[in-house]
Structures are given as C-alpha cells and as structure tokens.
Structure 1
Amino acid sequence: MERFDDYIINFLRHTAGVSESVLSWVYPLTAMFAIGLISYMCTALFRYIVMPAVQKLTERTKATWDDYLFNRRVMKAFRRIIPPVIWYALLPFAFSAGSEVLPVLLKACNIYIVVVSLFFISEFLHSLYEISSEHQKLRNRPLKGVYQMFNLLAVVVGFILVVSIIVDKSAGAVLAGLGASAAIVMLIFKDSILGLVAGVQLTANDMLRPGDWITMNKYGANGYVREVSLTTVKVQNFDKTITTIPPYLLVSDSFQNWRGMREAGGRRLKLSVNVDANTVHFCSPEELCRYEHKGYIAKGRYDAAVKPVANTQVYRDFMMDFMSRHPDVNKDLMVMARMLQPTPEGLPLELYCFSVFTDWKPFEQFQGQVLDYAIVMASEFGLRIFQRPAGSDIFGKSQPVVS
C-alpha cells in the first residue's frame, strides 16, 4: 500500500502538476476517489461475475440446500459488506496519522459493517428456515421461533457493538454498563424473553407443530396451528377466525393437541343411548330363537348361559358385534359397548370405538350412522329409548294446529 500512496503522490506532483501547497488536501480527495473506484469495481466484479458463477454452480448440483443458502437475497446481502470493508482497509492511506477526520470515517465504516452484517445474518437465517420448511423431518417443527431467537440475539449483539464503537469503549464495558438497566430491558422485552423460553420448550418437548389441531377453550382456540413465532402462535379456528396466543401461555397453561389422534389412525366415538328401564326384561327361549332367526345373534350363543339373559345384554352384544364388523371402525383400537350407572333419564348404554376417519365431516357422518342404527334397532329387542315426556306424550297424540 505504500507503493500505492507513492504512486498517487507522484502522479499528482509530476503528471498532474499539483503544487505542494494544495497537495495536502488534493491528495486525500484523490485517494478517496480511488478507494471509491476500487470498492465499486470489486462490488461490480462480485455482482456480475461471482454471483452468476455461484448460481450456475448451485443449479448443476443435485442438492437443494445450496440453492437456498446461495440464493440471490443472501448473495446480495453479502455484496453489501464489500464496500465498507474496502473503505475501512484503505482509508488510513488517504489521511495522515494525526488527522481528525480519519477516526470519524473509520467509526462510520465500522458501524456500517455491523449493520450490513446484521442484514446478511437475517437473510442467512431466513434461508435456513426455508431449508427446514422443505425438509421432511423438520418442516413440522416450530422452528420459526428458534430462528427469530437467533436473529434477536444477533440484533442485541449488533446494538452492543454499535454503542461500543460510538463511545469508543470495549463491548464488555458496554455490556457491563447495560447490566444496570437490565430490569428496564427485561420489562421492554418481556414478551420476547418469555416467548423465547417457551419456544425452546415447545420445540424441545415436541409439544406443538404447525398444522396441529389444538383446543384451548380458555382463549377461544379450536383449530389448526398456522404459525409458531417468537411472540405469537396463530390458530385458525374452524369458523375461519384467527386466534393469537402467546407461546408462554401454551407452556404455563394446558391445551389439547389432537396430533396423537391422527398418528394413532383413529378418532374416538363415545356416545350413550338412554334405555327406558321399564322395558328391560329377561329374554324367553322364543325371543332368543327369533333373534337367531333374524341373524341378530349367532346360533346357540347363549345356550351355555347359566342365568337368564336380559334383552339389554343381547342388545349390547349385538351393538358390539356391529361396531366390530363395521368397515369404518379401527379394529386395532378398543371397541366396547357397556352399561353405565342408571340415571333419572334411563339406563345409559355407552358405545365406544375409534373411527378410521380423523377429519371432522366424515367422522360426524360415521357417528350419525352408528347412533341412528342404535336407536332404530333398540325396538327389535323390546327396548324403548327414554326421553322426557312432551305434550304429545301426555295427551297420547299430537293435536292439530288451529290457524
């Protein structure tokens, strides 16, 4: 670089004919112009030669991660770092050692390097997030909050570095000075800090993923998770509204995640049919023969029964067989029909099984079919479904409406 300085000085003295009286201010201007020209040429070289070459190289590879890491946004952010680095390296040769302007320009270059480096880190983290979103194992992880955490940490470090450059102190001294105002900082960034800790817990424990169906009635959330960020979790409810919940509430409070239902491959059906207790009786041999003739029970199923068989038992076994043979019932999970504690509304018969449908609409159709069949078939076994008496029950039949 000393030869570079001598070349400019000799050019100004002998070629341009600059006198010694004006050389003291003409040389810095000429040197700064030369530094600007060098930085422009290096930036143009990187833009028109290096960037196209890197993009063509990444297009030829079979891997996709390099297409994200070396995309146009990342390369453009890296290109912004080139000019201030060149200016910081060459400015000392444009001014004398005792110049008052040089420290100010060097501080400005340092600050500019920190700022453009933060933009580069942000774009790099965004590219990493895009790679994880395309990855088969990572795309269902709530990693957006993690990347936002690293981005926030980079901004905090960048802020400390900028302050240290301005006050001409070390970063450690600035950090120690900020420790006195830690309470104010924690108050300002309370939600971000809590969201940071909660995001780490949600990710580490695999409690929540984008696309999960969660229910949190306390906050009116019942739908699919669309986004998990550092400060918010967006849930799109089934009525198409959006519920926003802070991540730390998902850790400190309880919520229901229906992901296990989808992974198990079955959605639970659990409903009760109230049977009128006055219609419960022991079946006669003729009734059992009639049930066998209609195919409701297997032939000779109750021949070995020591005690009389009630019609509720036959009806219960019939519904159990019906659910066990139903094509829409998951046979690998529990199938059960049981009697519950009698209530003033009748004797509840609970039907319990798991449908192969996990989505709402087909499951409701399956549930309606099972319930309809249970109500209709109850009369075949001499049972009556209990319901509270209405006016038509009291008068025997409905009265015509007089207009």
Structure 2
Amino acid sequence: MTMKHFIYDYLVETGMSAVYAKYLNMIILLIALLVIAFLVDYIIKKIFIKLFTQFTVKTKTNFDNFLVSNRVPQNIAHIIPLIFGLEFIPIVFQDFPYFENMVEKGFKVFAIILTLWIVRSLLNALKDYFKTLPRLRDKPIDSYIQVFMIFAWVLGILSAFAIITSIEFIKFFTTLGAASAIIILVFRDTILGFVASIQVSINDMVRIGDWITFEKYGADGDVIEINLSTVKVQNFDKTITTIPTYALISDSFKNWRGMERSEGRRIKRALNIKLDSVSYLTKEEVDTLKNISLISSYLETRQSDIDSYNSEQNINKDILLNGRNLTNIGVFRKYLETYIENHSGVNKDMMIMVRQLAPTAHGIPLEIYAFSSDKRWKNYEYIMADIFDHTIAAVPYFNLEIFEYPSNSSFKDFKA
C-alpha cells in the first residue's frame, strides 16, 4: 500500500463512498503539502538568512550587505519549497488529472514570478553597490536596471501566458512577431527613454549631482535621479522638475559642470552709458581725475605720451577734436579694469576685461567680463553685486550717465 492511497483506503474501509473518499483524500494531501511547504520555506529561509548574515560579517566588501538588505537570500530560499511542491503535485492530484494540470501550471507561473523576484532583488543589490563606487556613482544605473527588468517582465508575462494557454513557445513568439508594430507603439516612450539614457551615458551629457538649466521645462537645479523615462531635477527653490529623458538629446539645455570644475565662475554683465554723456577730457578734467589713485599713474603716463605726440605733430589743440585725446568713457573703462584686477573676489589668473559692445538705442553697453574666485551661488552673487555697486556709484565721477527710462521723478521739475 502506497502513501498516496493510504488515506483513501482508510476512508473506504470506514464506509465512505469511493467518490467522497477521493475528494477528501485530495484535500487532506493538499493541506499536508501546503503545511510542509510552508514549514520547509520557513526553515530554509532562516538558515539562508543566518548563513548570509555570518558571511557578511566575515567579508570586507559591502556587496553582500546589499544582498541581505534587498532580500536576495529570502527569495532564493523559496526555490526549495517550490521544487518540493512540483514533485508532490502528482501524488496529491493522482485521481484528478485536470486539477493536476491546472495546479502544475500555477506552480510553473509562480516559478517564473519567483525568478523575476530573484533577478529584481539581485539587480537592486547591484544598483546599491554600484552607487557606492566613485566612478559609477553619477551614472544612470537606474535606467539600465529598469530596461532589463522591463524586458524580463515582458518575457516572463509572455512565458506565463504560453504556459497557461499550452501554446508552444516557438509558435507563440512567431505570432507575437506579427504584433511587433503594436508593441513598439505601446512602448514608444520606453524605447525612446532607453535610447536616450544610453546616449546620455555614453556622451557623458548629464550625471547625478550636475547643475543643469533647462528653460523649456523650467528646471534650474541639481540632477537627483536619472531613470529610463524621466530625469528629476531639484530646483534651488526645492521644487522638483521632471524632464523626459529623451528631451536631453532632442532639446538644448545648459550643464554647469564645466564651470564647477573650473577655477572661477563667470561674471558677464553690462551697463548702458548714455551716448550724449561721452566726451573728450580737457586738461583740467584730466588733472582732476588724477586724484583717483587707481588710475593716477596711468593718466600721468598716458597724458605725457599724448602731449608728446601732439607737440611733435604740431597739432592745434585749440579744438579738442584735433590730434590725440583722452575720453571720459575710455578712462572710465581703464578705471574699471584696474578696479576689477585689484578686487579680492576676482580670480586674477583668468580673463579680466572691460569692453564696449555695439551701440544701441539704449546707449553704449560697457560690459564687465571676469571670473569670481568663489563659485558658490550666494558668494558669487555677492561679489558681482559688490563690483556693480561700486561701478554704478563711480559713473558720475567721469561725467558719464547711465541710460534709464524716464520715471515720474524725471518730470517733477516741469510745471504745467
């Protein structure tokens, strides 16, 4: 007498009909199988966790710690009770081949799901480990794992569907190929995001931690996450902007990484000087400006050179236009350049320039081009504001005026 007929024979001997005995025999064996499977799963899981924990203590690498935190041992432990269940299904459903087929398919589908769980937990452990490596910390690891898991889940779902419908894999995937156009349409964003994430990574366009400015999406802050379909940017006002990954290769954005790696942060801003305030400097005005310490030596040398030239050429200086002359805007430009070169917040090893741009309806733009030695946003703004505070206040000393639109105070001296 075999074990699988023991309960059935006992029930028949007690006077139960053969039909009811078969059903009750199946139920009792099924309950016993489930109880044993849960006990085996519980015991194996405890053993695996204990062994992995002891192993992680002895090893120097922290990868095994990530395996434990991502439940890899627990998921692997489920394999043994699953195999146990598949082996004993024929015994439980010996008299019910239809139920045996259904339950066996259910176990095979669960085996596929368990495989996906193990793969996902293992990939998550790899992701956490890679993020601790300096050379991979700023790479879009999440995107690659998401792509792999999408394909794994699609393959798993299709395999499960093939098992349930009892269709051969070759025929199933041949039929699936005919529907590839629909699949591409459904997964369009995923495919675009996958291609974009590869291009972003290969070309090193964006890394986690980079400061980017993306005006189209209103993003101005640090990249905190790069996924398959989106890039998350934490703006400086602490809001989060989500950008499609493929937008990084289809649209233009600014990455400030180069500035952060350089020795300074660029200052590039202009003042508009009124055209009618520009003039030649008389000898008296030059003498007055010589009292400004930053340009006194420059004016002495420059004026001496000009006087020598005009004298040698017998220039009639009754009219200032004749010969060579100093202008108030030229001297002011030299003053600003000297002032910036002596400013403590400016990097002296990088370019320092004060230049004129093309005149406009708003006057002559006088642009300051330099680099602050401190790249931090707050300090950078302070240095730039300090330079322009001084520049704006210095303009009247050179008999120049800054262009601005008229306001109510411009007409206060006019009477009706």
Specify if TM > 0.5. Answer: yes
Aligned 8 A contact 2:277 2:400 in 1: yes
Aligned 8 A contact 1:392 1:398 in 2: no
**Cα distance change of structure 1 residues 288 and 109 upon mapping to structure 2, 3 Å threshold:** same
- State which of 244, 250, 253 in structure 2 corresponds to 1:252: 250
Give CA-to-partner distance per residue, 1:329-384, whole Å, 9 cap, x none: 23343221111222232222110112234343332222211111111122333333
* Residue 141 (str. 1) matches residue 154 (str. 2): no
**Cα distance change of structure 1 residues 393 and 93 upon mapping to structure 2, 3 Å threshold:** closer
Structure 2 partner of 1:334:
351
Q: Report the secondary structure of 1:294's partner residue.
A: coil
The count of residues paired between Structure 1 and Structure 2 equals 391
CA-based RMSD of the aligned residues comes to 3.4
1:286 CA displacement:
5.8
1:361-376 aligned within 5 A: 361-376=378-393
- Distance in 1, matches of 2:49 and 2:216, equals 52
Instruction: Give ranges in structure 2 of 5+ residues lacking alignment.
Output: 310-323
Aligned 8 A contact 1:8 1:31 in 2: no
- State which of 332, 335, 356 in structure 2 corresponds to 1:315: 332
Aligned 8 A contact 2:212 2:221 in 1: yes
Structure 1 partner of 2:312:
none
1:241 CA displacement:
3.5
- State which of 161, 164, 168 in structure 1 corresponds to 2:166: 168
Instruction: Give ranges in structure 1 of 5+ residues lacking alignment.
Output: 1-5
**Cα distance change of structure 1 residues 47 and 245 upon mapping to structure 2, 3 Å threshold:** same
Q: Report the secondary structure of 1:385's partner residue.
A: coil
Structure 2 partner of 1:112:
110
**Cα distance change of structure 1 residues 18 and 301 upon mapping to structure 2, 3 Å threshold:** farther
1:111 CA displacement:
0.7
Tell me which amino acid in the other structure corresponds to 1:112: F
**Cα distance change of structure 1 residues 55 and 7 upon mapping to structure 2, 3 Å threshold:** farther
* Residue 325 (str. 1) matches residue 342 (str. 2): yes
Tell me which amino acid in the other structure corresponds to 2:402: I
- Distance in 2, matches of 1:384 and 1:262, equals 36
- Distance in 2, matches of 1:181 and 1:10, equals 49
- State which of 205, 208, 211 in structure 2 corresponds to 1:207: 205
Q: Report the secondary structure of 2:266's partner residue.
A: strand
Tell me which amino acid in the other structure corresponds to 2:159: L
368-377 or 223-232, larger mean C-alpha shift: 223-232
28-37 or 68-77, larger mean C-alpha shift: 28-37
1:112 CA displacement:
0.7
36-45 or 366-375, larger mean C-alpha shift: 36-45
1:388-403 aligned within 5 A: 388-390=405-407, 392-393=409-410, 397=413
Structure 2 partner of 1:125:
123
* Residue 378 (str. 1) matches residue 395 (str. 2): yes
Give the alignment's TM-score, normalised by structure 1. Answer: 0.83
Structure 2 partner of 1:3:
none
Give CA-to-partner distance per residue, 1:236-269, whole Å, 9 cap, x none: 3344443322212222122222222212243221
Name the % identity. 33
Give CA-to-partner distance per residue, 1:245-302, whole Å, 9 cap, x none: 2212222122222222212243221111122333334445665555455322262542
1:189 CA displacement:
2.1
- Distance in 2, matches of 1:337 and 1:327, equals 17
- Distance in 1, matches of 2:414 and 2:141, equals 63
Aligned 8 A contact 1:8 1:27 in 2: no
Structure 2 partner of 1:71:
69
Aligned 8 A contact 2:8 2:22 in 1: no
**Cα distance change of structure 1 residues 86 and 262 upon mapping to structure 2, 3 Å threshold:** same
**Cα distance change of structure 1 residues 374 and 177 upon mapping to structure 2, 3 Å threshold:** same
Aligned 8 A contact 2:48 2:77 in 1: no
114-123 or 92-101, larger mean C-alpha shift: 92-101
Tell me which amino acid in the other structure corresponds to 2:63: W
- State which of 264, 288, 295 in structure 1 corresponds to 2:262: 264
**Cα distance change of structure 1 residues 175 and 368 upon mapping to structure 2, 3 Å threshold:** same
Structure 1 partner of 2:240:
242
Q: Report the secondary structure of 2:135's partner residue.
A: coil
- State which of 292, 305, 329 in structure 2 corresponds to 1:294: 292
Aligned 8 A contact 1:338 1:349 in 2: yes
Give CA-to-partner distance per residue, 1:83-127, whole Å, 9 cap, x none: 212222444566669944443332222111101211222222222
**Cα distance change of structure 1 residues 62 and 276 upon mapping to structure 2, 3 Å threshold:** same
Structure 1 partner of 2:152:
154
**Cα distance change of structure 1 residues 72 and 229 upon mapping to structure 2, 3 Å threshold:** closer
Q: Report the secondary structure of 1:51's partner residue.
A: helix
Give CA-to-partner distance per residue, 1:201-241, whole Å, 9 cap, x none: 22222222233332222233333333222222233334444
Aligned 8 A contact 2:259 2:265 in 1: yes
**Cα distance change of structure 1 residues 96 and 393 upon mapping to structure 2, 3 Å threshold:** closer
- Distance in 2, matches of 1:394 and 1:95, equals 101
222-231 or 335-344, larger mean C-alpha shift: 222-231
Q: Report the secondary structure of 2:179's partner residue.
A: helix
Give the alignment's TM-score, normalised by structure 2. Answer: 0.81
Aligned 8 A contact 1:163 1:174 in 2: no
Structure 2 partner of 1:356:
373
Q: Report the secondary structure of 1:70's partner residue.
A: helix
1:200 CA displacement:
1.8
